[in-house]
Structure 1
Amino acid sequence: MTTDRTRAGTRVRRPGRALAVAAALLLTAGAAGVAVAAGGDGADGARPAAPASAGKREAAALTGTAKMFRKTTEDVRFTFDAHLAAADDKRPDKATGTFEFVHLDKPGGEGGWAKGRIDCLVTGGKVATATGIITETSPDARMRSLKGGRVGFSVHDQGKHDRVGYSWAATGGPDGTKKLSKCNSAAPFEKVEKGTGDFHVLPWKVPYPTA
């Protein structure tokens, strides 16, 4: 990720036949543009989950913040506050919330950051995949060019031994693409540095159709 002199200031149917049932499920997933990810909320910077509506728990959530493990002085952090309301349990592409990420050469040093709004969330067990649109960045030209682009994230919630992935894992940095499909990201390969935070995944209860 390119750098600038700005210090990162992030706070970072019910169909009658079996065939129709199967088709309905595929159409539901296709509308969201996602595949179900394979397979809490609390301290360490995690934000509280959105209140459930009509007495129901929300359909899915990804919350928390943490620093990625590095052998260098780099300071790389991710923050998520993503929620899928109970009323939208069949539409992962109706998820709402925010994300932030920051990459500095050292804590408090030079680097870049971006934040944005969540536009898709799928969770399965303790794994989450989400995407969002970048709405704000640090001021250098390279980062500003990312505005309006979609980025993806994945998290494996392992109880303070979490892992994180992101859609630009193979390209060296986000490129501002608008072509990335919703809820699409690389596998969660990065380790969270111990003691820097924690992520929490609320599993999605897949709304399978019934005959």
Structure 2
Amino acid sequence: MNRIAHIRTRLAAIAAALLITAGAAGSAAALGDRAPGTARGQREAAALTGTAKLYRPAGDDITFTFDAHLAAKDTMDPEQAYGTFRFRHVFPNGTSGWAEGSVDCLVTGGKVAVVTGVVTATDIGIKGKRVGMSVHDLGSHDRLGYSWLNQEAEDHLPPCMSSAPFEKVQAGTGDFTVLPWHPEYEQRS
């Protein structure tokens, strides 16, 4: 095969790969706003997805990950939200703690989300406790907040409650995405 034929073959292969990738991305985007139980062409009611590390100048490594959703059919009941969350804190001295859990409520407004869930696995003694987290989706400058009670606390955090998103995320790690919730209220005559 001469050099020109070789170059044409490679260009054809690259073009085919790009078309396949574009098609897959288009299919994923078309399904991306749909949650289980959501009709074709109908977006889910709300969502919070992504991972980011908190900014801590002392060297702490703190990461939060969310995959929280509210199906369109549950628009007026944010306590039907589902999904998972995870957080991990590694201190500068090497000790660490982590927790993961199941989402039990999700409310979003504009680019702000509040999600709560019950811890299902952890090494910090809060298994079975509800925790609350908040995110402000600001592109690469996302912010995050959290509220939870220590293992000795007797009170319980209600669903969909958290603090304001007061923490900054580490530069370059903010990839949280908030899908705004649009409650559908009955029209009064």
Give TM class, smaller chain.
Answer: 0.7 to 0.9
Quickly say closer, same or farther: Cα 1:200–1:163, change in 2 above 3 A: same
Which of these residues, 159, 164, 169, is aligned with residue 182 of structure 1? 159
Runs of 4+ residues deviating >2 angstroms: 48-52, 173-178
1:120 positional shift: 0.0
Quickly say closer, same or farther: Cα 1:195–1:174, change in 2 above 3 A: farther
Instruction: Please name the residue that 2:91 is paired with.
Output: 105
Contact 2:33/2:43, CA 8 A, preserved across alignment: no
In structure 1, the gaps of 5 or more residues are 1-47
Which of these residues, 117, 123, 145, is aligned with residue 165 of structure 1? 145
Higher gyration radius (CA): 2
- Residues 1:120 and 2:105 aligned together: yes
Quickly say closer, same or farther: Cα 1:124–1:175, change in 2 above 3 A: farther
Equivalent residue of 2:183, what SS?
coil
In structure 2, the gaps of 5 or more residues are 1-30
Which of these residues, 174, 193, 196, is aligned with residue 170 of structure 2? 193
Instruction: Please name the residue that 1:207 is paired with.
Output: 184
Task: Provide the alpha-carbon RMSD of the alignment.
Answer: 2.1
Amino acid at match of 2:78: P
Amino acid at match of 1:75: D
Equivalent residue of 2:73, what SS?
helix
Instruction: Please name the residue that 2:43 is paired with.
Output: 57
Quickly say closer, same or farther: Cα 1:96–1:196, change in 2 above 3 A: same
Report sequence identity in percent: 56
Instruction: Please name the residue that 1:147 is paired with.
Output: 127
Higher relative contact order (CA 8 A, sep 6+): 1
Contact 1:149/1:178, CA 8 A, preserved across alignment: no
Aligned residues: 155
Instruction: Please name the residue that 1:78 is paired with.
Output: 64
1:22-70 CA distances to partner (integer Å, 9 max, x unpaired)? xxxxxxxxxxxxxxxxxxxxxxxxxx95734112100000000000001
Bigger helix share: 2
